[in-house]
Structure 1
Amino acid sequence: MDECGLSIQHTSSHSNSNTSSTLHVISLSSIHFNGNPFCLLYKLISNETRLTYLDLSLNYYQIPLESLTFIWNMNSLSHLDLSDNDLSGHIPREIKRMHNLSFLDLSSNNLSGPIPREIESMHNLSFLDLSFKTLSGPIPWEIWNVGELSYLSLAGNRLDGSITNSISNLKHLTFLDFSSSKLRFDKHAMNSLGKLCRLQTLSLYDNNITQEFSQVLQSLSSCAHKSLVSLTLSNTQLWGSVPNIIDNFTSLEALYVGSNQLNGTISEGIAQLSWLEDLDLSYNNLNGVVSSNHFSNLSRLRYLDLSNNQALVFNLSTDWIPPFQLEQIGLRSCKIGPMFPKWLLTQQNLAAVDISGAQISDIVPESFWSSVPSTLEQFNMSNNMIYGVLPDLSTFQSLYQFDMSSNNLSGAVPSFPGNCFELNLNNNNKLSQGLYRFLCPKTEMNLGFLNLSNNLFSEMLPDCWRYFPSLKILNLQNNNIGGKLSSSIVSLNILQALHMRNNTISGELPKSWVNSPYLVVLDLAYNSLSGYIPPTFGNGFKNLSVLSLRNNHFSMAIPSSLCQLSSLLVLDLSNNHLSGTLPKCLSDLTEMVSAKHFPQTINTSYTVQSSLYDSDIAWFMWKRKEHSFDDLSGLYKGIDISNNNLQGPIPNEISSLAGLVFLNLSQNNLSGGIPSGIGQLTSLEFLDLSHNRLSGEIPTSLASISYLEILDLSENNLSGRIPSGTQLQGFDESAYMGNPGLCGAPLPTCLGDERTPIVQNGDNTAQPNEHGSDDLFLGLYISVVLGVITGFWGVCGSLVLKRSWRRAFFRFLDDTKDKVYVLVVVDIARACRRS
Structure 2
Amino acid sequence: MNKLPSLKELHLLSCKLVQFAPLDHVNFTSLSVLDISWNNFKSFLPKWISNLSSLVSLDLSYNHFQGPIPCALQNMSALSYLHLTSSGFNSSTIPSCLYTLHNLQHLTLRNLGLNGGISNNIANLTNLVSIDLSNNELDGRIPRLIGNLCNLEKINLSGNKLAENISEIFESFSGCLMDSLISLDLSYNKISSHLTDKIVKLRNLSFIDLSINSITGPIPESIGNLSSLTMLYIQYNKISGTLPKSMGLLSSLQVLRISDNHLEGNVLEDHFANLANLKILEMDDNNFTLNFATEWIPPFNLYEIRLRSCIVGPQFPKWLKSQKKLSWVDLSNAKLSDTVPDWFWSWSSQCIYLNLSHNQLYGTLPHILFTGNISIMDLRSNLFHGSLPRLVSSPAQLDLSNNFFSGNITHFLCRSQFLGISVLHLGNNFLSGNIPNCWENWESLQVLSLDNNNLSGMIPTSMGSLTILVSLHLRNNSLSGVIPRALQSCLELRALDLSLNAFHGKIPAWIGMSLLKLMTLNLGNNEISGLIPKELCHLSYLQIMDISNNNLSGSIPHCFGNFTSMATKRDLSQRFHFIFNKGYAIAILENAYVRTKGSELYYDTILALMTSIDLSNNNLSGEIPEEITNLFALRSLNLSINHLRGTIPDRIGGMKDLESLDLSRNQLWGRIPPSMSELSFLSYLNLSYNNLSGPIPTGTQLQRFTPFSFIGNELCGDPLNKSCGMEGVTPKFGNENGKESEGGSIIDGWFYLSMGIGFVFGFWGIWGPLLLSKAWRVKYFLSVCHKLA
TM tier, shorter chain? 0.7 to 0.9
* Residue 600 (structure 1) aligns with: 571
* Residue 508 (structure 1) aligns with: 482
**Between 726-735 and 184-193, the greater mean CA deviation after superposition:** 726-735
Contact 2:4 2:25 in 1 (8 A): no
Residues of 2 paired with 1:126 and 1:294: CA distance? Answer: 39
* Residue 112 (structure 1) aligns with: 90
* Residue 405 (structure 1) aligns with: 380
Residues of 1 paired with 2:97 and 2:17: CA distance? Answer: 34
Residue from 43, 63, 78 that aligns with 1:100: 78
Residues of 1 paired with 2:58 and 2:668: CA distance? Answer: 81
* AA at the equivalent of 2:270: N
Residues of 2 paired with 1:80 and 1:269: CA distance? Answer: 44
* Residue 832 (structure 1) aligns with: none
* Residue 802 (structure 1) aligns with: none
CA drift of 1:737 comes to 6.3
Contact 1:520 1:604 in 2 (8 A): no
CA drift of 1:253 comes to 1.1
* Residue 205 (structure 1) aligns with: 187
1:510-525 alignment runs, 5 A limit: 510-514=484-488, 518-525=492-499
Residue from 274, 279, 295 that aligns with 1:319: 295
1:239-278 alignment runs, 5 A limit: 239-278=216-255
1:152-191 alignment runs, 5 A limit: 152-186=131-165, 187-191=167-171
* Residue 555 (structure 1) aligns with: 529
* Residue 377 (structure 1) aligns with: 352
Q: SS at 2:90's partner residue?
A: strand
* AA at the equivalent of 1:206: Y
CA drift of 1:729 comes to 8.0
* AA at the equivalent of 1:110: G
Per-residue CA deviations over 1:448-489 (Å, capped at 9, x if unaligned) read: 322211111113212333333443332221111223223443
Structure 1 position 75 matched with structure 2 position 59: no
Structure 1 position 424 matched with structure 2 position 399: yes
Q: SS at 2:463's partner residue?
A: helix
* AA at the equivalent of 2:361: I
Residue from 44, 51, 60 that aligns with 2:31: 51
Per-residue CA deviations over 1:733-755 (Å, capped at 9, x if unaligned) read: 6666667xx4756598899999x
CA drift of 1:712 comes to 4.8
Q: SS at 1:440's partner residue?
A: helix
Contact 2:13 2:39 in 1 (8 A): no
* Residue 316 (structure 2) aligns with: 340
Contact 1:602 1:633 in 2 (8 A): no
Q: SS at 1:391's partner residue?
A: coil
Per-residue CA deviations over 1:318-357 (Å, capped at 9, x if unaligned) read: 0101001011001111111111111111100000011111
Residue from 634, 637, 644 that aligns with 2:611: 637
Q: SS at 2:123's partner residue?
A: helix
* Residue 419 (structure 2) aligns with: 445
Residue from 12, 25, 39 that aligns with 2:9: 25
Residues of 1 paired with 2:704 and 2:278: CA distance? Answer: 67
* Residue 329 (structure 1) aligns with: 305
* Residue 780 (structure 2) aligns with: none
CA spacing shift, 1:174–1:636, aligned 2, 3 Å: closer
CA spacing shift, 1:106–1:721, aligned 2, 3 Å: closer
Contact 1:137 1:160 in 2 (8 A): yes
Contact 1:126 1:149 in 2 (8 A): yes
CA drift of 1:190 comes to 1.2
* AA at the equivalent of 2:30: R
Structure 1 position 150 matched with structure 2 position 132: no
Residue from 84, 105, 110 that aligns with 1:126: 105
* Residue 736 (structure 2) aligns with: none
**Between 608-617 and 327-336, the greater mean CA deviation after superposition:** 608-617
**Between 512-521 and 726-735, the greater mean CA deviation after superposition:** 726-735
**Between 193-202 and 451-460, the greater mean CA deviation after superposition:** 193-202
* AA at the equivalent of 2:536: L
In our comparison, the structure showing a higher alpha carbon Rg is 1
**Between 463-472 and 112-121, the greater mean CA deviation after superposition:** 463-472
Q: Which runs of 5+ in 1 are unaligned?
A: 2-18, 767-835
TM-score, structure 2 normalization: 0.83
1:403-802 alignment runs, 5 A limit: 403-416=378-391, 418=393, 420-428=395-403, 430-433=404-407, 435-440=409-414, 445-514=419-488, 518-593=492-567, 599-600=570-571, 606=577, 617-632=591-606, 635-670=609-644, 672-675=645-648, 677=650, 679-680=652-653, 682-683=655-656, 684=658, 686-692=660-666, 694=667, 696-698=669-671, 700-701=673-674, 704=677, 706=679, 712=686, 718=691, 721=694, 725=698, 742=714, 746=720
Contact 1:614 1:630 in 2 (8 A): no
Contact 1:350 1:375 in 2 (8 A): yes
CA spacing shift, 1:328–1:706, aligned 2, 3 Å: closer
CA spacing shift, 1:318–1:605, aligned 2, 3 Å: closer
Identity of aligned residues (%): 35
Per-residue CA deviations over 1:792-828 (Å, capped at 9, x if unaligned) read: xxxxxxxxxxxxxxxxxxxxxxxxxxxxxxxxxxxxx
* Residue 290 (structure 1) aligns with: 267
CA drift of 1:560 comes to 0.8
Per-residue CA deviations over 1:543-567 (Å, capped at 9, x if unaligned) read: 3232211111111211111122223
Residues of 2 paired with 1:533 and 1:298: CA distance? Answer: 63
**Between 462-471 and 152-161, the greater mean CA deviation after superposition:** 462-471
CA drift of 1:493 comes to 3.6
Q: SS at 1:147's partner residue?
A: coil
Contact 2:630 2:655 in 1 (8 A): no
Superposition CA RMSD, Å: 3.5
Per-residue CA deviations over 1:525-583 (Å, capped at 9, x if unaligned) read: 10111111122222243332322111111112111111222232332111112223332
CA drift of 1:498 comes to 2.0
* AA at the equivalent of 1:115: I
CA drift of 1:299 comes to 0.6
* Residue 388 (structure 1) aligns with: 363
Residues of 2 paired with 1:649 and 1:166: CA distance? Answer: 74
CA spacing shift, 1:417–1:62, aligned 2, 3 Å: farther
Residues of 2 paired with 1:750 and 1:648: CA distance? Answer: 30
Residues of 2 paired with 1:425 and 1:342: CA distance? Answer: 23
Residues of 2 paired with 1:615 and 1:69: CA distance? Answer: 50
Contact 1:147 1:172 in 2 (8 A): yes
Residues of 2 paired with 1:120 and 1:744: CA distance? Answer: 75
Q: SS at 1:134's partner residue?
A: coil
* AA at the equivalent of 2:10: I
Residues of 2 paired with 1:711 and 1:421: CA distance? Answer: 44
CA spacing shift, 1:77–1:759, aligned 2, 3 Å: closer
Q: SS at 1:76's partner residue?
A: coil
